[in-house]
Each structure stands twice: as C-alpha cells, then as structure tokens.
Amino acid sequence: MTVLGWLQILLVLVAVVAAAIPLGRYIAKVMSGERTFMTPVIAPVERVFYALSGVDAKREQGWRSYTLAMLAFSAAGLFSLYALQRLQGYLPLNPQGFDGVDPALAFNSAVSFITNTNWQNYGGETTMSHLTQMAGLTVHNFVSAATGLAMAFALIRAFTRSEAKTIGNFWVDLTRGVLYLLLPLSIVLALVMVAGGIPQTLLASVEATTLEGAKQVISVGPVASQEAIKELGTNGGGFFNANSAHPFEGPSAWVVMLEAFSLLLVPVASVIAFGRLVGNWREGRSLLATMGIVLILGVTVLYAAETFGNPILTALGVDGAAGNLEGKELRFGQALTALFSVGTTGTSTGSVVAMHDSFTPLGGLVPLFNMLMGCITPGGVGAGIYGILVLAVITVFVAGLMVGRTPEYLGKKIETREMKLAMLAILIYPLLVLGFTGVSVMLKTGLDSLNNSGPHGLSEILYAFASTTANNGSAFGGLTGNTLWYNTTLGLAMFFGRFAYVVPVLALAGSVAVKRKAPASVGTFPTDGPLFVGLLLGIIVILYLLQYFPVLALGPIVEHFAMLAGKAY
Amino acid sequence: MASRSATSLFDPAIARRAAIEAFRKLNPRTLAKNPVIFVTEVVSLGVTILFLRDLITGNGEALFSGQIAAWLWFTVLFANFAEAVAEGRGKAQADAMRRTRSDTRAKRLVDHKHLDGAFEEVNALDLKVGDIVLVEPGDLIPSDGEVVAGIASVNESAITGESAPVIRESGGDRSAVTGGTMVLSDGIKVRVTAAAGSTFLDRMIALVEGAERQKTPNELALSILLSGLTIIFLIVCVSLWPVALYSGATLSVTVLVALLVCLIPTTIGGLLSAIGIAGMDRLIRFNVVATSGRAVEAAGDVDTLLLDKTGTITFGNRMPSEFIAVSGVPEQALAEAVLLSSLADETPEGRSIVALAKSRYGLTEMDLSQAGATIVPFTAQTRMSGIDLKGRSLRKGAVDSVLASVGLGDGGGPPDFRAAVDKIARTGGTPLAVAENQRLLGVVHLKDTVKPDIKERFAALRAMGIKTVMVTGDNPVTAAAIASEAGVDDFLAKATPEDKLAYIRKEQQGGRLIAMCGDGTNDAPALAQADVGVAMQTGTQAAREAGNMVDLDSDPTKLIEVVGIGKQLLMTRGSLTTFSIANDVAKYFAIIPALFLATYPELGALNVMGLHSPRSAILSAVIFNALIIIALIPLALKGVPYKPIGAAALLRRNLLLYGLGGIVVPFIGIKIIDLAVSTLHLA
C-alpha cells in the first residue's frame, strides 16, 4: 500500500460525499414531487408521458397496487427485451449482421437487464446488435435503476407518514427518476467520457494497420452513452466483454476514477435524501456511516491483500514487492482497482476494471462478501436503501428489546408483521445462493463450466450466484456461464433475487405506512448515533458471517491458508 | 407492600415436579408451538435412530452418535425444564389460592327482593349472577360481588397477602368484595357479580398457572425472528453437504445435525416462554395482577404516566408547614394557641397541627377534661373550630370567617398578615387564621405535602423517557405549585373524569402509550381507554373490570414499578436473543475446522481454541449448547436487571454484557468442556 494509492482512494470518496450532499437534496425534492431548478424544462415532457399513458399523477397507490404496477412494468420489460434479442436479425441497426440471440441466453440477458443486474453471459461486441444495445439494454439500464429508486422511496415515504394508506405512485416515481435524475446526469457524464476518450458512434468497427503492417479490426459503437448510465444506474453491463478494463470503456486512470465516482454517487445521494425526507439528517448519516465503514474496510483488505501478493509466485521468482498484479490493468494499479472492485460490488453495479478471479484469495473474498451481504454498501440505486432499511428493522428489533421497549424505527413500532416481512426478504438470499451453489457442485453440467477445481472452483460458482442473486452482475471470471444450466439458474437467481425480495419490502412499506408515528423520547432506542452504527454493523457482519462462513471456509478461506502454506489448487 | 412468600429459584419440590413435566412436554404436539425446540426434537429423533443403527451394525460410531443424541435430547429437555420451572412457581401459588376456594358454602337469600327474608345454604359454585348472599363474621365471601347492605371489616389476605382488615360497605367506592376473602366483623349482604369459574380468584389462579397463556405480540414477533434464523441455518446445513462432497469430505448426518442445533437459536428458543411466564409471575409477586401478558408488555412501552395527586404524589391530607405570627405576637404564643385550639380536632389535619406544635415548639399536650374547657366544633356555617377555657377563647379556621369573628372585614388585618395569607394562597397552600379573644394572632400554613422521595422517582422516570402528568381536582394555581415541587412534567388541574379521558385520547393521537391508575367508578372509562390501566383492589367493581391490571395493595405509586417490570421482560428477551446469536461465532470456530480437518489440514488454523480432536470439538459445542440453557434459567426467571439510566446507556451496558459476553463466553466454555471430554476419553 502506498500513500499515493490511499490519496487516490480518498480523493474519489471525498468527491462522492461532496457531490452527494447537494444531489441528495435534489433527489429528495424530485421524489417528493417538489419544484426544482429542472422543473421548467422537464415538467412539460413529464406531463406528456402521463397524458400518453393515462396516468393520474395526483393519485397515489396502496402498496398492493404499487407492487402490481412494478411487477407489470418489469414483466413487460422482460418480454419485450427477450423478443428484441430473438428478433434482432430482422431488425435495423445491425451493422455486424448478428443473428437472433439463443433462447436461454436471451432469457438470461433479459432477466439480467430488467433486474438491474446486468450479468453478461454474452460478449456485447460479438452478440448484440446496436439496436438491441441502444433500444433494449440501455433503456433498461435507465428504467431498472429508476424502478429500484421508486421502490426505495416508496419505503422511505412509508416511514415518514403516519396512518397513511398509500405509499406513492409507481408510474410517477419511475418517470421522475428517469427524467429528473438519471437522464440529465447521464448526458453530462457521457459528454465528459467522450472527452476522456470513450467512443460514441454508430459505426461497428474501425480498421487499423499495426506497426508490423497487419490489419486489425477494432470494435467501436455507441459506448459512451451506455457507459454513463452503466455506472450512474449501478448497472454494470459493459458494451465490451472486458467491461471497464477495455481501453474504450476505461481509457485512463482519471476516467476510471470518474467511473468509480459515478457508480457511488446516486446510492450515496439517496441515503442523504432519505435523511432529509425522514426529517433528521443524522438518520441518513448513521446509515451512510455504516455503509462507509464496510466499504473502507473492504478497500483496505483488498488493497492490502493485493499488495501483499502471492508467496507462491514470489517463490517462483516473481518480484514480490509489486504485489499481485495478475489480472490487473497497470494503468489503474492496485489502489484504484481495490476501490473500483469494492465500489462496484458494494453497489450493485458489477462493472469491473480487473479480473476478480485473479485476486488473491482474501482479495477475492472482499467483493464476494460484499455481494453475499446483498450489495448494501452503499448499494444499488434504490436497492441499497431498501436493503439496509430491512437490516435496520432487524437490528432495531434485536437491540430495541434490550432497552425494554417494543422496538421502533423512525417512530414506527416493529411488530409481528414487520418482522415476518423482513425475515421473508432476508431468507431469499441464502436460499438462492446456497441452494443453487449446492446443486451446481453436484451436477456434472455445473462443474464442466469451471476453469479451476478445488476451493477456487467453489469460489467461482459461489461468486456467480452471489452476484446474480444480489443483482450485482459482476463476474469472477473463470466460470463459463453461457450454458443451458447456468443461463437458466443464474436467470432464476436474478429474477427471484430481485422480485422475491422486493415484494416483501413493498409489503413492509404498506405495513409501516398505516402505523401511527410515535414521537421519540429518551427511552427510545436512538438510531441516529454511533451506537446504532455499531449495532447495525454487528448485525450485518454476524448475520451474514454466520450464513456463509461454512461455504467461505471451503472456498477463499482455505485457499488463503493453503496459499500461505505454498499450496495451489 | 406485603410481598408474597418468595419461592427460591430452584425450590426442590418445584424442580422435581418440573423435571417430570419436562419429559411430558416432549409431546410433539405441545412442542410444535416452539419452532426452534421442535426442530431440535425432530433432529434428535433422527440422530437417535442413527445411533441405534450404529449400535446394531457395530461400525464404531455408536459412542459418538450416542453421546450426540443424548445431548440433543438434553437440549430439548432443558428447554422444557425451564418452562416447567417457571410454570411450577406459579402453580405453587395457585394451589394455595385454590384451597381457599374449595367447598365454600353460601347463604343465599331465597327471595332477593326481600333483603330481610330467609336464606338457604347452597354450594358457592351454584351461585348465579344477581343472587344475594348473606355473609356473616367468620364466613368466606362466596363470590365476587357488591355490598348491597351493611358494613363489615374484611380480611383480604387470601388475595392481597396483606393481613390488616379493610372496610367494605354498601354504596360509594368501597362496595366491591372479592370471593375467597373473609368477613371478620358485622354482616353484609352481597349481590353476586361474577358467575362461578369467572371470579377474580379464578382468573388469578388461571393466570398464575399460565393456563391462559397466549403468546404476546412481542413474543410472537421474536418467535418469527427465531424461526427465520432456524430456516436460514437449515439452508446452511443442508447446502453444506453437497459443497463438502465437492470439496472431498463426506459429512455424516450426525455432525450436520450437531452443527444445525448449535447454530439455531436454541438458547433463547428454549427460554422464551419461561421468560414470559416469569415476567407475569414477577408482577404477581409484586401484588399486581395483569389480565394479559399484552398489558405487561405495554407497560414497558408506556410514554406517559397519569398519576392522581392525592395519595400518589402527596400524602392524602394537608399538613401544616409553618406558623406565621403577626407582628407583636411571639411565635411561641401563636404555637400554643394553635395547639390548644386543635386539641379537640380529630381530623388528620388537626392531629398533624398538634404534632408540629409539639415537635417544633416543645409544647406539651394538656388534659382537656380539666375544668372549664368547652370545645367549639367545626361547622359548615362558622367554618372555624376552637376551644373556650378559663376566659380564653381560641379560634382557628378559614381566614374570612376568623376575620369576621374578630370584627375585621374580608381583606382586613395587618399588612404582614395579608402578605402571609397571599403568599400561602399563591403557592397552593391553605391559610388558616388563628385568633384569641378577638385578637388576630397569626396564620397556619397548611399544605399538601409532597412525598419525600417522589421527586427523585420522577427524575428516574424522565431518564427512562417517561412523562409524568399529575391529575388533581385542585385549582390551577395550587396544582402548578405542587407540580413544580414534585417535579412532574405536566398537570391537569380541576380535572373531571371527562378531562382525563380527553387527555388520554389526545396523547394517544400523538402516538404515545398511557398508563394510569384509578379506583372510582368514574375512573372506569379512562382506565379502559388507557393502554395500561391499573385499578385498585379497594376500588369499585366497575374500575376493576375496566383496567387491565389490578393492584392488590391499592398503592398508586406502584405504577412506576409496573413500568419497570414490563421493561425488564422485554430486556430479558432482547439480551438473551443477542447472547444466543453471538454464541454461534465460537461454535463455528469449534465445528468448521473439525468437519474439514481431514480434507483441508490448512483449516486447522481456524481451531483457535486448540480443541483436542474433531469429535471432541463437535461434542463439546453440543454439550455447551445444552448446558447454557440450564445455566441461564435463573437469569430468565429473575430477569435482566433494569436501571433507569436512559436508552443509550442501557443499550451500551446490555450490549457489552450479552453481546460481547455472548461472543467470549462460549470460547471459554467449549474449551473447558473439551478438556473434560478429552480427559474422560469420551471422544
């Protein structure tokens, strides 16, 4: 680790917080329908959308109809995106002349993009036409992120209201999220990226003559526009297979720093918006501190593990002082790689600048554990907030009892129904991750996709299911996902990881909204201070450590001890 | 307060009965109500079958699987035992109460329209609501009822544990009598208000036995958390089998079950119902009967306490605080005049004036029977009282009346006298003027005396985040003075029952939970509206029906302790849950390296406790898991001590004790058990 490396990391983090504070205020206004400086420009467009779709923006929905709207919208997205991929061979804007995408892969990719996962079992430049990329994938990059944002603010609203039957209007939340937030930010960011060297063209490729005189075909396309929303919407689906490690997605260190900044920006700003909306910025601060501590711990472990290097390689004569550089871009280095990898898995982005498969065992454990926790540090757009709120509810319940009162969070009593819904949401992750991993290691078809055997092979499979279930989408690498088995199971993991989780969350919103808001007193368990941060951290770590310790012991942990003993698998 | 005979935690008789009861509770239909322990029982059965298989096939596994099976059964039995001990303590009390109820005879009036008519002797169980019974000295009152004629002193010790008799009479607020109590003197006629089987005593018996026990809302929510964790750990253990197989280790069902039982929250799962029963029991030992566990939980949540001024905040009667003489009159002379004029005054006020005169001015009482003393009693017309003796005419009474008697008009008297009277009125006191032979001597300051330690108790409540509101019929000036002296947060002056009800509704609208106590029939609506309504045992039947708790000692200050007991109940649950979950960390460090040491020797690095062998490690973790339930029974029954130090400090303290303790203790415990197991060559 170097001072310069840490300065790089801190620079990005400080910039994120500095930018997130005003942006958070803006998001709070946008999501509560207040007037902002963008209103004069966007409101007319917004009204056109409502008029065309027949939405009454003034009418709010109860949690059931909110949920149904969200599910209907996602289902429509799923089917249309599947159809678009299958039919791309007959559609325009297909300069490379790609055929329709294979059914299993099209299902996987469609689920992947409507759930904000952006797991890619395909190579973009070799599978998807420009039309599919722009009208399909990029559109869903926007709306799946806005869907997450909508659900998060429905839950936040529920906590701010007292004895309310409604939690907002899904169509309004969705529209405002895209029009006021994601679209303007993406336009600005895409232009900056173009300036930074990322291509934006409808051409399929350019030809270059190498120094040896050979002809080289280099794929290009409308990259910058997708790149911007890829990070801002915590999507992570790259235009190219190599994602941000590709020189056209991450051309230089400063662009990658900008990308790391962009992927953290909206999640962090949403937490600040949460604090404003619940009327106590300290509540937001304590959640943000919790997320921040996990994030910085993750960066530290990853950075330390990678600079410590691999004693086996050192023994073979590789310069140990440089640490582990396998699978990394030298133009980013270990510090930036550590920050980006932790950021991309702490949010549900999943874009990568390095091969996570090539990290040291402990280094690889960090992004893996980030996703096993459900990507909540600071989480995907919207998903981070509702994810951590569910955990806060559980924390408050356990800890609140210890102060001798029926636990309450933000003035809402946490009772049987809330616990039922929170536990239901929490349960779905281990069921999907451990269940599918358990079955995959038993099947020949599951093991055939592996590059490695032993503990590392287990990590590869576990990583894939952790990534898809948490709707992250980053790939460890080393696992061939484009098979019938993985296309299907990973698709199911993404689908249920999103919808089986958010339906209880929206039900929780409905249940919390109708409760009367109780004022806080000295006898109330305080949730806006360091004590709560410590508790929330404790619950998160203990809850997830207990769930995944056995399987992690057989994966990265044993690999780590084996590496120290000079043994490789 | 008369506390019930304290049963020691492990009374041998109770423990013996509980041990038998623990086996009876193995019935899966009973256990199904407790998901964590039910799962433990099911897997225990599975491991027992495996043990039998090992025994028959003689594959050398029998010693290990037999021990695991045995300890799994112990885990279930210990949990059952905890519940049985908690119930047993209640049963012992219930038996004593039941003895008073059995074969009571009642003298029922043949015609209940004629109160003087003949009566017939019937069994108490045959009485119906509306019957009128005659109860004579030495008789047990056969059922709950209302006195319709007569007055009697009644020994209610069967219910309250307090042996001093109380007066019960027809009409007014002391008309309710309770079945099972004994009339000591005089005879009363009682209209029966409760059918056989639903009397207060019956309800109390059912309650202490835990027969009517239903899961309370918070207990239910906690059960869901525990069930959720159980399902999560089931997923973890089931999925571990294929993953282990992939890694080259074949895990036996026995060790997977051992891992499962160690991970699921058996500690809190096993103690949960014992905690609930013990909470109710604590309240009963405190002589407060709650009609439901829900009420006890609500008590822990109370935000606002509505307290009657009289009897709770102040002593029931006004007392003199000082004698203020007008200029030219020595204070000693005033004191003597006051003493003389009050000697015949038998009211509590009069007696306390005498007491002050004697204690502060060293005066002695004189014998009134000596010649010439004429007592002038208080009347509503004169509004003064006094004494005439040997040419001295002493008068004491309301200021305007005394002024009139000395020939001064309303508002008259020397300036220092006026100043003293005004000051007393301003601070909420009552001034009494004193005159001798048409000469004004001075004024007695009578005031409502705030109980000595009440201010500290309210400060403690404030630290818990509870607001105190004083309810009084006094005018706002008096009320404000007493409120500031007692340190309550708010007061309700000139309060009518409607005002009380309105205040409760208003607070509840704001999301607060209210507790109050009351005894009169006019308190009933407010008692019913409050979240926690404590009715006094001496109160009317209507009040007792409306509240959700009855205080057998009729001591309104106990409301404060009731809140503490409610908090203690919730805290005990929370602390043991935290402890239980934190325990899992150490168990992982014992079991995971043990499971995979053969496959991955590198994982020996995780064996931080240096346990003897894989088998001893697994066995030790299981034994620890079972024994910790027994070890925590006393804590579950006694409850985690509650201190009013504010939520944050309380949390910090409990977190340190039960969170950090929960992580550290099993490391030590498992290591010690492992040493024992390996020394005894058990594994």
DSSP line for B586-650? HHHHHHHHHHHTTT-GGGGGG-TT--S-HHHHHHHHHHHHHHHHHHHHHHHHH-PPP--S-HHHH
Q: Is A433's pLDDT higher than 60?
A: yes
Say yes or no to pLDDT of B542 above 80.
Answer: no
Over residues A80-86, mean pLDDT: 96
Q: Which of A519, A535, A557 sits opposite B511 (nearest CB)?
A: A519
What's the first-to-final CA gap in chain A, in angstroms?
A: 27
Mean pLDDT confidence for B312-317: 75
Indicate yes or no: CB of A416 within 8 angstroms of CB of B224: yes
Q: Judge whether residue B99 has pLDDT over 90.
A: no
- Residue A476 pLDDT > 90: no
Question: Poorest-confidence range of A42-46, A81-85, B402-406?
Answer: B402-406
Instruction: Provide, as residue numbers in chain A, all residues whose Cβ is less than 8 Å from the Cβ of B646.
Output: 522-523
The residue in chain B having the minimum alpha-carbon distance to the alpha carbon of residue A521 is: B465
Contact flag A549-B588 (C-beta cutoff 8 Å): yes
Residue B252 has pLDDT above 50, yes or no: yes
- Res. B348: pLDDT tops 50: yes
A430 in contact with B, Cβ within 8 Å = yes
Residue A529, min C-alpha distance to chain B (Å): 10
The beta strand positions in B206-302, using DSSP E, are 288-290
Q: With 60 as the cut, is the pLDDT of residue B79 above it?
A: yes
Confidence at B161, pLDDT banded by 50, 70, 90: low
Of A399, A435, A522, the CB nearest to B646: A522
**pLDDT tens, B164-205?**
777 888 877 678 888 878 888 788 888 888 877 777 777 777
Pairing of strands B392-398, B384-389: antiparallel
For A415, which of B221, B240, B602 is closest by C-beta distance?
B221
**What pLDDT shows up at residue B584?**
93
CB neighbours of A280 closer than 8 A, spacing ≥ 6?
A528
Per the omega criterion (within 30 degrees of 0), is the bond before B641 cis? Answer: no
Average pLDDT, chain B: 85
State the pLDDT at residue A524: 77
Token couple for A62: 């109860």
Q: Where are the alpha helices (DSSP H) in A34-182?
A: 39-53, 63-87, 103-114, 124-127, 130-131, 139-160, 170-176
Task: Sheet with B288-290: list strands edge to edge.
Answer: B288-290, B549-551, B532-536, B514-518, B304-308, B467-471, B490-492
Q: How many CB atoms lie within 10 A of CB A324?
A: 21
Q: Are A143 and A115 contacting, i.e. CB atoms less than 8 angstroms apart?
A: no
* Own/partner long-range contacts of A421-424 (Cβ < 8 Å, ≥24 apart): A421/A504, A421/A505, A421/A507, A421/A508, A421/A511, A422/A390, A422/A393, A422/A394, A422/A397, A422/A504, A422/A508, A423/A394, A423/B224, A423/B225, A423/B227, A423/B228, A424/A504, A424/B228
Long-range contacts of residues A483-487, Cβ cutoff 8 Å, at least 24 apart: A483/A445, A483/A448, A483/A449, A484/A104, A484/A445, A485/A440, A485/A443, A485/A445, A485/A446, A485/A449, A486/A108, A486/A121, A486/A440, A486/A446, A486/A449, A487/A104, A487/A105, A487/A107, A487/A108, A487/A121
Residues of A in contact with B647 (CB under 8 A): 403, 405, 522-526
- What pLDDT score does B9 carry? 60
**Is B596 labeled as ligand-binding?**
no
B519 annotated ligand-binding residue: yes
Q: Which of B570, B578, B606 sits opposite A406 (nearest CB)?
A: B570
B380 assigned binding-site residue:
yes
Place of tokens 């309710």: B176
Min Cα–Cα distance to chain B from A261, Å: 35
Nearest CA in chain B to A527: B648
Residue of B nearest to A526 (CA): B648
**pLDDT at residue A362, rounded to an integer:** 93
**pLDDT score of A193 more than 50:** yes
Residue A118 confidence (pLDDT) above 50: yes
Distance from CA of A396 to the nearest CA of B (A): 10
Asked if A549 is an interface residue toward chain B (Cβ–Cβ < 8 A), one would say yes
The answer to whether the annotation marks B423 as part of a ligand binding site is: no
Phi, psi (deg, nearest 5) at residue A460: -65, -45
Among the options B131, B144, B281, B308, which is catalytic? B308
Query: What pLDDT, on the 0 to 100 scale, is given for residue B5?
Result: 44
Q: CB B225 to CB A518 under 8 A?
A: no
Query: Would residue B308 show up in a list of annotated catalytic residues for this protein?
Result: yes
With contact defined as beta carbons under 8 Å apart, do A559 and B596 qualify?
no
Per-residue buried b or exposed e for B444-476, using 16+ beta carbons within 10 Å of the residue's own CB = bbbbbbbeeebeebbeebbbbbbbbbbbbebee
Task: Note whether B36 and B227 are within 8 A (CB).
Answer: yes
Residues of chain B contacting A561 with CB distance shorter than 8 Å = 600, 602-603, 605
Q: Is B385 annotated as a binding residue?
A: yes
Nearest chain A residue (CA) to B580: A398
Taking alpha carbons only, the member of B6, B567, B637 closest to residue B285 is B6
Query: Rounded to an integer, what is the distance from CA A381 to the centroid of its chain?
Result: 7
Contact at CB, A404 and B240, closer than 8 angstroms:
no
Asked if A433 contacts B239 with a C-beta cutoff of 8 angstroms, the reply is no
Distance, C-alpha B459 to centroid of its chain: 20
Question: What pLDDT, on the 0 to 100 scale, is given for residue B207?
Answer: 67
Confidence class of residue A315 from pLDDT cuts 50, 70 and 90? confident
Tokens of A253: 């260190």
* A405 → closest Cβ in B220, B300, B462: B300
Looking at the partner chain, which of A415, A519, A542 has a beta carbon nearest the beta carbon of B581? A542
- The label of the residue with tokens 């530290």 reads A300
Residue whose tokens read 């065992």: A361
Q: Is the pLDDT confidence value at A530 over 70?
A: yes
DSSP characters over B178-194: -TT-EEEES-EEEEE-S
Q: What is the average per-residue pLDDT within B307-333?
A: 82
**Single-letter amino acid, residue A269:** A
* Average pLDDT of the residues in B575-583: 94
Nearest CA in chain B to A556: B603
Shortest Cα–Cα distance, A484 to chain B (Å): 21
The mean pLDDT value for B287-297 works out to 81
Pairwise CA distance, residues A517 & A514, whole Å: 9
CB contacts of A431 in chain B (<8 Å) are 235
Backbone angles phi, psi at B210, to 5 degrees: 75, 15
**pLDDT at residue A152 is higher than 70:** yes
Q: Do A394 and B225 touch (CB under 8 A)?
A: yes
**Residue-wise over A133-143: b if at least 16 C-beta within 10 A, else e?**
bbbbbbbbbbb
If you write DSSP's letter for every residue of B66-91 in order, what string do you get? HHHHHHHHHHHHHHHHHHHHHHHHHH
* Averaged pLDDT for residues B290-298: 81
The answer to whether A416 contacts B297, with C-beta atoms less than 8 Å apart, is no
**Which pLDDT value is given to residue B39?**
96
Distance, in angstroms, between B265 CA and closest chain A CA?
Answer: 12
Residues 6+ apart with CB under 8 A from A139: none
Inter-chain touch A553–B603, beta carbons under 8 Å:
yes
Strand partners, B439: B436
| B460 CA: distance to closest CA in chain A (Å) | 11
Please indicate if the annotation marks B121 as binding a ligand.
no
pLDDT of A30 over the 70 cut: yes
Assess whether pLDDT exceeds 50 at residue A71: yes
Mean per-residue pLDDT, B538-565: 80
Q: What mean pLDDT is predicted for residues A403-412?
A: 87
pLDDT at B30: 86
Beta carbons of B596 and A439 less than 8 Å apart: no
Residues from chain A contacting residue B607 (CB–CB below 8 Å):
none
Question: By the 8 A CB rule, do B261 and B40 touch?
Answer: yes
Average pLDDT, integer, range B96-112 = 73
Query: From residue B637, how far is each of B89, B190, B275 by CA, in Å?
Result: 10, 40, 6
pLDDT (mean) for A59-87:
96
Check pLDDT > 70 for residue B472: yes
Report the pLDDT value the prediction gives residue B213, as an integer from 0 to 100. 62
Predicted local confidence at residue B450, as pLDDT:
82
In chain A, which residues have their Cβ closer than 8 Å to the Cβ of B650? 402-404
Q: Residue B120 and residue B126: Cα distance in Å, rounded?
A: 12
Distance from CA of B218 to the nearest CA of A (A): 7
Q: How far is B626 from chain A (nearest CA, A)?
A: 20
Is residue B221 over pLDDT 80?
A: yes
Which residue did the predictor score with more confidence, B162 or A564? A564
Residue B384 in marked binding region: yes
Element containing residue B57 per DSSP (H, E): helix B35-57
Instruction: Read off the pLDDT of residues B409-465 as tens digits, 9 standing for 90 and up.
Output: 777 788 888 888 888 888 778 888 998 888 888 999 888 788 888 888 888 888 778
B-contacting residues in A 133-162 (Cβ below 8 Å): 162
The answer to whether B382 is annotated as binding is yes
The chain A residue lying nearest B565, using CA atoms, is: A404
Q: What is the mean pLDDT of residues B79-108?
A: 78
ipTM reported for the complex, 2 dp: 0.94
Three-class SS of A16-67: HHHHHHHHHHHHHHHHCCCCCCCHHHHHHHHHHHHHHHCCCCCCCECHHHHH
CB contact set of A305 (below 8 Å; sequence gap of 6+) = A324, A359, A360, A361, A362, A363, A366
Half-sphere exposure of A436 (CA within 13 A, CB side): 27
What tens digit of pLDDT does each residue of B27-40 get? 998 888 899 999 99
Q: Which of B469, B600, B655 to mutate to probe the A interface, most A CBs <10 Å?
A: B600
pTM value is 0.87
Within 8 A by CB and 6+ apart from B366, the residues are: B340, B343
Higher pLDDT, B320 or A296: A296
Token output for A233? 């919407």
Whether residue B404 has pLDDT greater than 50: yes
- How many residues appear in chain A? 569
Q: How far apart are the first and last CA of chain B?
A: 55
Confidence class for position A23, pLDDT limits 50, 70, 90 = very high
Question: Under an 8 A CB cutoff, do B647 and A523 touch?
Answer: yes
- Tokens 């069967």, located at residue: B158
Q: Lowest mean pLDDT: which of A428-437, B360-369, B490-499?
A: B360-369
Higher pLDDT, A462 or B453: A462
Say what the pLDDT of residue B6 is.
46
Total residue length of chain B: 683
pLDDT band at residue B336 under the 50/70/90 scheme: confident
State pLDDT tens for residues A408-431.
899 998 989 999 999 999 999 999
Confidence check: pLDDT of B346 > 80:
no
Write out residues 508-547 of A within 8 Å (CB-CB) of B. Answer: 516-519, 521-526, 529, 531, 535, 538, 542, 545-547
Judged against a pLDDT cut of 90, whether residue B12 lies above it is answered with no
Mean pLDDT, all residues of chain A: 92
Q: What is the dihedral sign for C-alpha B548, B550, B551, B555?
A: positive
Cβ neighbour number for residue A404 with a 10 Å cutoff:
32
DSSP-derived 3-state class of residue A319: coil
Name the token pair of A185. Answer: 């930010």
Contact A337, A328 (CB under 8 A): yes
Closest residue on chain B to A548 (Cα): B236
**A162, A415, A458 ranked by CB distance to B243: nearest:** A458
